[in-house]
Amino acid sequence: MELRLALRNVFRNRRRTAFSLAVIVVGTVVFLVLLGFLGETLRSTERSLACESGAVQVADPRLFENQATGYEYLIAPAMRDEVAALVTEMPGVGGVTWQLGFAGLVGDEEGSTLVLGRGVIPCGCPDEYGCIVTIGEPLPANDSRVTILGGRLARKLGVEVGGRVNIATGTVAGTFNAATVSVIGELVYSPETVEEQLGLFPLGFVQRLLKTDGVERILIRLTDLAAADAFSDELASRIEAAGIPLATRTWKELNPSYESLSTFYKAFSGLAGLAVFALVFFSVIEVLTLAFLERTREVGTIRAFGATRWRIFRTFLLEGASIGAIGGALGVLVGVAVALGFNATGATWTPPGAAVPQRIRLDIGLTTILIPFLTALAATWASALYPAWKNARLRIVEALHSV
C-alpha cells in the first residue's frame, strides 16, 4: 500500500520526475560504461602481461634478484625436465615452455649495436610470438640461423626482411662467439626502448651460440590467471620438497608496474562513482525539496488523521528510493544497450604494456551493473533524507496553515 502510494506521488508532477529520472539515467549510464571500460582494460592488461611472462615463472633466485654473475643461473636439462614433470602433475596448467636470453652485438661491416636476444621455442606456450610479428613470418619450428628483429632495431640497422646480420656475444665459458643469421621478420613491442634492442631467435640456435644446453627460465601458462598466486605457492613447496634450488614468481611479481596501474584504475573508478553520486544527489535534492514542501498542507492533514512523524518520514523516503530505483534500472538498461552496441563495433586499442592492438570491449558483468545502480539508488535516497525529515518534523497546526 505504501509503495503504491509512493509511486503515485512520484508521478504527480511528471515534469519534475522526468528531470530527476533523466539525471539519474545519464549518471548511471556514464558510470556503467566507465566501469565496463576500466574493468576490461585491466583484464586486457593482465592477459597481455601474463601472455608475455607466463602466469608463473621458475628460475634461479639469483636471476630474479639480479644477483647472478655470468650464466651461473642457468637451469640444466635434467633439472628443467624435473620441474616440468612437477608442473604437469598440477591442475590448471595450460602450457609450459622455457627461454634463454643473452646480450650481445648485432650488425654488419658498416656498424653494430646492442641486441637483447631471446631464445624461444617457436609455437610454444605461453606466447607463440606470432601475434607481434608485423612483417615477414614467425620463427620456424627448428634451430636454424634466423631472427625476428624489433622494428625499431631493424630500421636502426638499415636491414630489411631477407637481409643478413651478424650476432656476437660471450659464451657461458667466457669465450667469444659469433654467427650470421637471416632476418625473416620484424616485430612490435612495448615499451619502444625494448623494441629498439630486441631480437627473437630459435632456442636451439641461442644454445649453440652460448655453447650451453641450459635454459634461463621456465614459463607456465595457467587456464585461470586468478589462480597464479596459489599455484606459485604450491609449486614452490613441491620444488623445495624435491630439493630443487629454484624459486617461483607470479606475473604480478614480474611486472611490478601492474599494481600501480591497478591502483590508479580503482581510484579513478572510485572518483567517478563519487562524481556520479554528487551529480545525482545535488540535482535531485532540489527537486525533491520543492516537491515535498508543496505538500506541507497535505502532510498536516494526514498528521491530523493520526499519521505519525515516522510514517511521514518513511513515506517520503520511499518516494525518493522509488525514483532512484526506477532511474537506476532505466540507466542500467540503457547502459547495457550502449555497451552491447559498442562491443559490436569491434574497435581496437593497445593497452599499457601490450605490443599489439586488442579489441576494446565494455565488460557487462554483475559488478559493473550493480555498482552504478546502487550508487544511483543511494544518492537519490540520501537526497530525500533532509526534505523528508523537515516535513516529518512539522507541527500539525503550522502545516495546516501553510499556503
CB 181 within 8 A of CB 167: yes
Instruction: Give yes or no: residues 35 and 96 share one domain.
Output: no
Asked whether residue 296 is domain-assigned, the answer is: yes
Instruction: Give yes or no: residues 45 and 65 share one domain.
Output: no
Asked whether residue 54 is domain-assigned, the answer is: no
Asked whether residue 93 is domain-assigned, the answer is: yes
Residue 128 has pLDDT above 60, yes or no: no
Per-residue pLDDT at 303? 59
Instruction: Give yes or no: residues 97 and 206 share one domain.
Output: yes
Instruction: Give yes or no: residues 140 and 268 share one domain.
Output: no
Per-residue pLDDT at 13? 63
Instruction: Give yes or no: residues 103 and 136 share one domain.
Output: yes
Residue 130 has pLDDT above 90, yes or no: no
Residue reference for cell 515534469: 15
CA proximity to 180, closest of 210, 158, 204, 147: 147
Mean pLDDT to the nearest integer, 135-161: 87
Instruction: Give yes or no: residues 140 and 7 share one domain.
Output: no
Instruction: Give yes or no: residues 31 and 68 share one domain.
Output: no
Per-residue pLDDT at 244? 94
Split at pLDDT 50, 70, 90, the class of 142 is: confident
Instruction: Give yes or no: residues 277 and 372 share one domain.
Output: yes
Asked whether residue 251 is domain-assigned, the answer is: no
Q: How far is CA 117 from CA 145, 198, 209, 399, in A?
A: 13, 6, 11, 83
Split at pLDDT 50, 70, 90, the class of 106 is: very high
Per-residue pLDDT at 324? 84
Asked whether residue 18 is domain-assigned, the answer is: yes
Q: Which of 183, 212, 245 delimits the end of a domain?
A: 245
Per residue in 195-252, pLDDT tens? 899 999 999 999 999 999 999 999 998 989 889 999 999 999 999 999 999 999 999 9
Q: Which of 203, 222, 245 delimits the end of a domain?
A: 245
Residue 344 has pLDDT above 80, yes or no: yes
Instruction: Give yes or no: residues 145 and 231 share one domain.
Output: yes
Split at pLDDT 50, 70, 90, the class of 126 is: very low
Cis peptide before 202 (omega within 30 of 0): no
Mean pLDDT to the nearest integer, 329-342: 92
Per residue in 15-72, pLDDT tens? 777 888 888 899 999 999 999 888 888 887 787 777 778 899 999 999 999 888 889 9
Residue 354 has pLDDT above 60, yes or no: no
Per-residue pLDDT at 249? 95
Asked whether residue 279 is domain-assigned, the answer is: yes
Asked whether residue 56 is domain-assigned, the answer is: no
Per-residue pLDDT at 4? 62
Residue 297 has pLDDT above 70, yes or no: no
Domain coverage including residue 364? 2-49+258-400
Long-range contacts of 168-173 (CB under 8 A, 24+ apart): 168/104, 168/105, 168/106, 168/112, 169/102, 169/103, 169/104, 169/105, 169/117, 169/209, 169/210, 170/104, 171/209, 171/210, 171/211, 171/212, 172/70, 172/71, 172/74, 172/210, 172/211, 172/212, 172/214, 173/211
Residue reference for cell 540503457: 334
Q: What is the pTM of this model?
A: 0.74
Residue 2 has pLDDT above 90, yes or no: no
Instruction: Give yes or no: residues 318 and 222 share one domain.
Output: no
Cβ within 8 Å of residue 396, ≥6 positions away? 300, 303, 304
Mean pLDDT to the nearest integer, 289-294: 64
Split at pLDDT 50, 70, 90, the class of 125 is: very low
Residue reference for cell 624461444: 120
Average pLDDT across the chain, whole number: 83
Q: Which of 214, 245, 276 delimits the end of a domain?
A: 245
Instruction: Give yes or no: residues 319 and 371 share one domain.
Output: yes
Higher-confidence residue of 232 and 189: namely 232
Q: How many distinct structural domains can be found in the chain?
A: 2
Per residue in 66-91, pLDDT tens? 888 889 999 999 999 999 999 999 99
Per-residue pLDDT at 385? 81
Asked whether residue 26 is domain-assigned, the answer is: yes
Range of weakest confidence among 120-124, 168-172, 294-298 = 294-298
Residue 8 has pLDDT above 70, yes or no: no
Instruction: Give yes or no: residues 36 and 100 share one domain.
Output: no
